Every structure is written in structure tokens, then in C-alpha cells.
Amino acid sequence: MTWLRHLFLPAASSVKAEDVDDLFMFIMWLNILFMILITGLIVLFVARYRRKSAAQKTAHIEHNTALELSWSILPLILSMVVFFWGFNSYMQATVAPDGAMEIQVTAKKWIWTFGYPDGSVGVGKLWVPVNKPIRMIMHSEDVLHAFYVPAFRVKADVLPNRYTEVWFQATEVGDYVIPCAEYCGKGHSQMRAYVKVVSQKDYENFLEKGDPDEIGKPPAELGAILYTNFGCSTCHSIDGTRGQGPSWKGIYGAQHKMTDGKLFTVDENYIRTSILQPQQMVVEGFQGIMPSYQGQVRERHLTALIAYIKSLK
Amino acid sequence: MSDVITSPAAQAAHTPHHADYLEDPDFKGIWAWMTTIDHKRLGVMYLWATLAAFLAGGVMALIVRLELMHPGEDFMTAERYNQAFTLHGAIMVFMFIIPAIPAALGNFFLPLMLGAKDVAFPRLNLASFWVYVAGAIMAVTSIVVGGVDTGWTFYTPYSTTTNGAVTMMTLSVFVLGFSSIFTGINFVATVHKLRAPGMGWFQMPLFVWAIYPTAIIQVLATPVLGITMVLLVMERAFNIGIFDAQIGGDPVLFQHFFWFYSHPAVYIMILPGMAIISEIIPTFCRRVIFGYRLIALSSVAIALIGFLVWGHHMFTSGQSALAAGIFSFLTFAVAIPSAIKVFNWLSTMYKASISLRTPMLYAISFLFLFGIGGLTGIFLGALSVDIHLHDTYFVVAHFHYVMMGGTVIAYLGGLHYWWPKMFGRMYNETVARVCCGLVFIGFNATFLPQFIMGSQGMPRRYYTYLDQFQPLHQFSTFGSWILGAGIAIAVINLTVALRGPKNAPENPWGGTTLEWQTQSPPITHNFIGQPTIDHEPYDYRTFKIPADAVD
């Protein structure tokens, strides 16, 4: 019956996921058994006791204590089994083991930023070594968000006024999606990051030299990668359609009216300022809702993004 | 008057057909309707008002589903989409499903079933209706002047910081709450004081036994919602710093306040559905309901324990593990009374004389769909599984199976059950049955795929989504068209019947409760003389099925 498990659940890729899935399937079987019982009784009784004449005699059975006790107590026992199982696996998934690697997570509309133990910071991609317990310490800079990795079966709300945490230990090398799971406005459904589970060696390599996807790329190509990784794509299109922010297509070199009424030609310095201090000059007709990327992007990222925007004619 | 006729039946036999409440010559014209204190007229007015809300909320649902046909923009922006699902939720919850059964069918039938002339406070009843209308107008205004994009749950700090007409919308919820409280107070007093002679607590129909705890929840829980909404408005207007972390508040506190009302409110929504099912099943089985006392008391148990489980909406919110454990435990405890009811209803079909007319078809749909709704709740009550499923489409599917597959299906069943009594007209039975089938198929097609999407990791309130989910989303959208068509034709079918002649007999289905012992539609004062009760409800041993009953 693994097809049923695969129908409902994505591949389990963390150490605690199997236990959650086993409980899920246990409840699934309870559901199926009870639905067979309910449907079976309905079909049986309707077939057997369908009214054939207005004078059809019916039984006067007011109640039956033994029956009623049994269908009160049996569901109670079954639900207590589910309760203890669920509570137990929840406690295990809540308390991170000692010595887990700690990663700081910052959420804001609509990007995820990850801070590593060596002080380096990444946006949109969470690099972790496989088979190591990882503890995420999370907070939000604006509204509620929720950190969710379906493949790991972990989720926790991210709050503006205190830290929340989750921990996981990935078992398979691969990329896993992190969809924001607490409604946070226009960009909610595009507030998406990825966990990149790699070998210990690749992880160390990443810390030392940076993201291998970014190395050796010409600036415009790197900019195209950052466009999705940094979540720019949530608000800025590259095909001219209007989003939460101006489209990047043809924006370089064009004259735009700002909210303060001044005309401004978009050049390298304008783009740089817009990324680091986005509220300074907002194009008329748009709200100043973009978060600042100050401290989260490196100089080469800025160069790459500017080159990419210049290439979008 | 020298000769005194004691029993209403005997008296009715001696008297000609009386003018019914719809065409009472003493209360003619629009003004008489607008100022009526007759519980039946108010029930009818509530019926049309809540059906209008249902239409508006339903159109929003179809729009939301249509936008989800493809990832990315189909025909509306993310901003509009967020407003559409917010309105769908807010309208359906506050303007349709909470008032629909208690204020429309409850208002009409609670006094009739108790053998009373009216509710205990008829003027409060009238006030309740106009307060509802005022709240509804405010809600519509908020849509017109700016829209609301917070989701129906108004979670802070998003709701305190977003633009739009959130203040107007939350004030409208505050006002609608009073309408609900007034109805609740009225029903509690009516049940306590206006039962017919001979009707003890355990001679009341089970409809009353479920509406009564509903009314108590309305009175006790709704004020908490009102206070919460006022605090939210104060926060937006004066930055008082209750919920917004920027100014020293705690956003999770809002969730505690909100769910302290909104979880009991789930029972305000489902208990009246159960109330209707407990009437339809014995009538169309023509036998005594199985386990009367257990059904009656389980409604009370649900209402009481229902106050203690709000934290199960917040398992991922950062509340303590101990709190989560206790809330999970109590959640399983509150599930048991619902399970008991399902088995009691099923057992009532044993050795019965089952008629598959439209109301019974809806009741059978209810048993199946509410069964799935209740059983999938076990996934969400189990802590570690809920962590994975929380805020995904699995939750969306689960509560639609309970709220729509449960309450709305029961409501449609109730409309078809009582329509001949309310308006004195029979509807087209064949059309009604086909619609019941369409609703059943459409509903499952819409929401079964959402369980799979959810457990596969599709979060709710998503404007766009990963390509892997598109086939299931499209299937769900196709299902919503069948569902929408089924409900629309069913309501049209009922409405069309109103243009026909008053052809409904007094008791078309052979029901035993008091509302069937008066003419259809009832006279303004409900009964001629005071009916009395001398037997248990649903006792078919001595009950004579009227000759003009159908089937």
C-alpha cells in the first residue's frame, strides 16, 4: 500500500519524517475503516429497510446501552492511541539534540535570509550538510510568516517579537522547497526559498568560496540567478508586466517620475540605492514596500544585478 | 363562546382554513413586514438575507477557484485575489453560516416545536434582524471603500498594518456579533420558559436540544470576539499597543482571543446542522430516534468542551509544548460526542421504513461528508501530523467537509424538509433530488483533491503555486462549477415553487414534532389553542400517519 503513502505524502527526507508519516498512515487506515463502516451501514440499511408500503412496520428501539457504550469507548481508546503517538513524536521533533548546528533565520516581506555560524549570510537558499542536526532560530522583521519544509515535515510560525525554532536532520542530498505558510500579504505565495542539502565537503566548500552556482559566471548571468534567489521575481517582472514593483524590462536608461514629483533617469547609482535604501526614491504609482537588502548582498551581487537589469532591454 | 374545544387537532377539524402568517390581513404591506415581531416572518426575512450573503460568498468562492486554474495571473492580481478569499471567508462565516440555521430556521421552528406562540422576546428578535442588516451594510461598505485583504481571521500584525478598510470590516463583525447574541439570549429564554404543558427537557425535539447549546455559546463566546474586534480597531486608530510587537504588543495574544471565540463558533456552525439531521432521520425512517438522550447530552458536551480547545488552531504559533499537549488531548475528547451522534443516526435507520425523498438524501450525504470531515480532524488533532498539515489545503478541505459537507448540506436538507411548512408549497421533487446528487458529486470533486494537495505541501491562501499542483487545482475548480450549479438550481427550484398554489398538506412527511400539528403555512399565532404533550418525541407506536402524507 505504498502507493497510498506516495499519493498523499512527499518523499520523507528527514530523520523524524518517517514517524510522522507512519502516524499519518495509521490515521488514514482508521479513516478508511470507519468510512467503509459508515457507508456500508447506510447502503445495507437503505437496501434492507427501504419503504415498500406506507404501512411498513418499524421497530421501536429507544437505545441499547451496551452498543452505545462500545461506540463511545472504542473511539476514545483509538483516539488516545493517536494522541499519545502524536504528542510523543511532536516532543521529539520540538527539542533539538545537543550540539545541533545553529542557523539564524530572518523573515520579512517577502524574503528569507539565513545567517550561518561563520557569520556569512545568504538569501533565498539555505545550505545545510546532510545527516547533521540543524537548529533554526527564527524571527520576523514585520508580520507573521511561517517556515515550512514539507519534505522534512517541519513548520513553525516566525514572529516579530520573539524567537521560534525548528530543527531537522536531512537524510538525502537534494533541493527542498521552503514555502511561506503563514499569510503575509501580496507576495505570500512567492515567498519561497530552498534548502540545499549537500555533503559535508560541499557545505564547507560553500562556506569558504561561496555558492558554486555563482562562481565564474559573467555578471549578467549571475544576476539572472540572483533575480530568483533573492526573491526579486516576487515583485519585479522581466517581461514588462506590472507587479508590486516596476518591471525591470527596459527600466535602465528610462526616465521615471518619482513619488516626490521629480523626474529621474535610472542609472547604476539609482539601482544601487534602490536595492540598499529602497524607500529613498520610489517610482510614482508604486508603494514603498520593498525591504532593504543592506547587509545581505555583497558588492559582486550588486554588480551582477545591475548588469542583469541593463541586459533587459 | 360556550363550547370549549381542548385539543388543537379537534379544533382545527371544526374550523375552516385560517389566514396564514404570510397573508394575515392584520399585517399587510412592506411596513408590516419590516416592523414585524412574528418569529416566522423574521425567520423568513433572515432566510432571504442569509441566502443573499450565501450567494455573494459563493460567487467569491467561484472567483477564487477560477483564478487558481493556472499558476500566476489568470484574470486578477494578487492583491485582488487576497481580497476575494478574505471576503469569501468573512461573508460565509459571519453573514451566512453563523446566522443561517439558528436565525432563519431556528427562529421559525424553535417556538413551533415548543408549542409556543413566539420567542420569549419578540422585539429583541426584530432588533437582532436589523442589527444584522446594519452589520451587513457595513461589511458591504468596507468592500466598496477599499477592500480587506487580511483573511477572515484578521491575524495581527498584518491586520493592524495593512491598508484598506479593515477598521470598517472589523466593526461590522462587532455589530454582527450583537445580532448573534440577541438571537442566543432569545432562544435560551424561550427554551427555558415557553415549553408547552407536558414538555419536560427530555420531551423536547432534538432540534431544540442542539439549538439550545448553540444559543448558550452565542451568548458566552461572542462578547470575546466583540472585545477583540474593538481592540483591533483601537490598535489601528490609536496605536494602543496590544497586538503589534512594534509598539510593545503580542501578535499571538490576538490569536488566543480570536480562537477563544472562533473555535466555539465552529460549534455555533455545526450544532444547528446536527439539529436538522436529528429531525430529518426519524421522520423519513418513521421510527423512534436511537439514543435520544445521548444525542441530546452530546450536544451539550460538545458545547462545553468546545470552549477548551481553541489552542489547536495554534500548534505552530510558538505556544508551549505543554499547552499544545493539553489542547491536543481535549481536541480528541471533543471528537467523541460527534462520533456518538453519527452512530446513533445510523442506528435509527435499522429496522426503519426509509423514504429516500430529498431531505433524507441530504441527510445521507451529511452522514458521509460529515464522516469524512470529522475523521480527517483526527489528522489535525494529532500534534506531529498537524505540524506538517497546518495552514495547508488539507485544513481547507477538512473544514469545508465539516462546514459545507456538514452544515450547508444539512441546511439544504432542512430547507427541503420545512419548505412546505414555511410556505405551504411542495417543490419539484425530481429536480430537487438531481440537485442533491450534483451537490454531492461537485462537493467531493472540489474538496477531495485538496486533501492530497495539502498533505503534499501546498499552503493555503496562495495566489500562485508550483506546477506540480496544477492538475489537482484544475480538478478542484471543475468540481466547484458542478457544486455551484447544483446549489443554484436547488435554490431556484425552491423559489419557483413559491409561485405555485398552496398545495402542501399539514404534515407531508409524517413528522411527529409539533410544527407538523398546525396548518401549512402556520397561522400568525402558530396554533389554535395551546398544544399539550403527552408522549416522548419521535414515538411512532401510537402516531397516526396522516392520510395526505406523501409516500
**A186: nearest CB among B79, B392, B452:** B79
Question: Is the torsion defined by CA of B191, B195, B198, B199 positive or negative?
Answer: negative
Secondary-structure breakdown of chain B: helix, strand, coil percentages, each rounded to the nearest 5? 70, 0, 30
Residue ranges of B 284-343 with Cβ closer than 8 A to chain A = 285-288, 290-294, 316-318, 321, 324-325, 328-329, 332, 335-336, 339-340, 342-343
Could you give the CA distance from residue B266 to residue B274 in angstroms, rounded to a whole number? 12
Share of chain B above pLDDT 70, in %: 97
Residue B318 — very low, low, confident or very high, per pLDDT cuts 50/70/90?
confident
Q: What is the CA radius of gyration of chain A?
A: 27
Chain A residues whose beta carbon lies within 8 Å of the beta carbon of residue B370:
none
Cell for B284? 423519513
Cell for A305? 544585478
Residues 6+ apart with CB under 8 A from B179: B99, B103, B128, B129, B131, B132, B135
Could you give the CA distance from residue B256 to residue B311 in angstroms, rounded to a whole number? 7
Residues listed for chain A:
313
The minimum CA-CA distance between A282 and chain B, rounded to whole Å, is 18
pLDDT of residue B7: 53
- B508 phi and psi, to 5 degrees? -65, -30
A-B Cβ pairs (cutoff 8 Å, strict): 264
Domain ranges for chain B, please list them: 52-517
**A49: nearest CB among B79, B250, B352:** B352
Identify the segments of chain A with pLDDT beneath 50: none
pLDDT of residue B17: 65
Chain A residues whose beta carbon lies within 8 Å of the beta carbon of residue B252:
159
**Spatial CA neighbour of B469 closest among B443, B481, B444, B451:** B451
Could you give the CA distance from residue B409 to residue B386 in angstroms, rounded to a whole number? 27
Residue ranges of B 144-183 with Cβ closer than 8 A to chain A = 149, 151, 155, 157-158, 161-162
Find the angle CA(A41)-CA(A45)-CA(A47) to the nearest 5 degrees. 120
Q: Where are the alpha helices (DSSP H) in B7-157?
A: 8-14, 29-34, 39-67, 78-90, 98-99, 107-114, 122-145
Chain B residues whose beta carbon lies within 8 Å of the beta carbon of residue A137:
none
**Is the pLDDT assigned to residue B11 strictly greater than 60?**
no
Could you check whether the bond before residue B418 is cis, i.e. omega within 30 degrees of 0? no
pLDDT of residue A287: 82
Q: Are B328 and A86 in contact (CB under 8 A)?
A: yes
Could you give the CA distance from residue B461 to residue B390 in angstroms, rounded to a whole number? 12
pLDDT of residue A219: 83
Chain B residues whose beta carbon lies within 8 Å of the beta carbon of residue A27:
378-379, 382, 385
B347 touches chain A (CB under 8 A): yes
The pLDDT of B258-263, averaged and rounded, is 92
**Is the pLDDT assigned to residue B469 strictly greater than 70?**
yes
pLDDT of residue B5: 43
CATH architecture of B52-517: Up-down Bundle (1.20)
Contact flag B339-A75 (C-beta cutoff 8 Å): yes
Cell for A124? 533565498
The per-residue pLDDT for range B176-227, each reduced to its tens digit, is: 999 999 999 999 999 999 999 999 999 999 999 999 999 999 999 999 999 9
**Spatial CA neighbour of B518 closest among B21, B121, B37, B41:** B21
The per-residue pLDDT for range B39-77, each reduced to its tens digit, is: 999 999 999 999 999 999 999 999 999 999 999 888 998
Chain A residues whose beta carbon lies within 8 Å of the beta carbon of residue B367:
38, 42
Residue B8 — very low, low, confident or very high, per pLDDT cuts 50/70/90?
low
pLDDT of residue A54: 84
pLDDT of residue B146: 83
**Is the pLDDT assigned to residue B1 strictly greater than 50?**
no
What is the signed CA dihedral for B93, B97, B99, B100, rounded to 10 degrees? 150
A84 touches chain B (CB under 8 A): no
A234 touches chain B (CB under 8 A): no
DSSP per-residue letters across B125-145: HHHHHHHHHHHHHHHHHHHHH
pLDDT of residue B37: 93
Could you give the CA distance from residue B119 to residue A174 in angstroms, rounded to a whole number? 66
Residues listed for chain B:
551
Residue B3 — very low, low, confident or very high, per pLDDT cuts 50/70/90?
very low
The per-residue pLDDT for range B478-517, each reduced to its tens digit, is: 999 999 999 999 999 999 999 999 889 999 999 999 999 9
Contact flag B378-A31 (C-beta cutoff 8 Å): yes
Residue ranges of A 4-23 with Cβ closer than 8 A to chain B = 7-10, 16, 19-20, 23
Could you give the CA distance from residue B109 to residue B118 in angstroms, rounded to a whole number? 10
The per-residue pLDDT for range A8-24, each reduced to its tens digit, is: 999 999 999 999 999 99
Residue that is written with C-alpha cell 427537557 in the block: B201
Burial A84-101 (b: 16+ CB within 10 A, else e): ebbbebbeebbebeeebb
The per-residue pLDDT for range B359-368, each reduced to its tens digit, is: 999 999 999 9
The pLDDT of B353-360, averaged and rounded, is 95
Domain architecture of chain A: domains with CATH: 1-40+68-95 (no CATH), 101-209 (2.60.40.420), 219-311 (1.10.760.10)
The pLDDT of B103-118, averaged and rounded, is 95
Chain A residues whose beta carbon lies within 8 Å of the beta carbon of residue B461:
183, 188-189
